Amino acid sequence: TQSGFTARMVSKYKPRAPIIAVTPNAKIAAELTLTWGVFPLISQPNTTTDEIYNTAVKAALEAGLIGSGDLVIFTAGVPVGVTGTTNYLRIETVGEVILRG
């Protein structure tokens, strides 16, 4: 997230699932700690939606917020890095890495 806006909007509905907001901005992450149900994680900036998704899933797995087999709903904005452009939705089941080379 560039601004945290979408995480805040989803939070208003108090979903049972955690809202994981991955941002390269420490200030935005700090602000989101005050938002109901939001777990902010800081990551490096990314340039494509695939990079953002992979970074977000990796960070959430490492933080213990999600696990293999969990269903995740991922939102982003295209073009990447432009605030206020949330127009991308991806729904996937987190898979287990069987082999790394």
Rounded to two decimals, the pTM is 0.83
In angstroms, rounded to a whole number, what is the distance separating the alpha carbons of residues 36 and 91?
A: 22
Cα–Cα distance measured from residue 91 to residue 66, given in angstroms and rounded to the nearest whole number: 14
pLDDT digit string, tens, across residues 55-89: 999 999 999 999 999 999 999 988 887 888 888 89
> Which residues lie below 8 Å from residue 86, measured CB to CB, with a gap of 6+?
5, 6, 75, 76, 77
pLDDT digits (tens, 9 = 90+) for 3-28: 999 999 999 999 999 999 999 999 99
Give the chain's domains with CATH numbers: 5-93 (3.40.1380.20)
Distance of alpha carbon 22 from alpha carbon 59, whole angstroms: 8
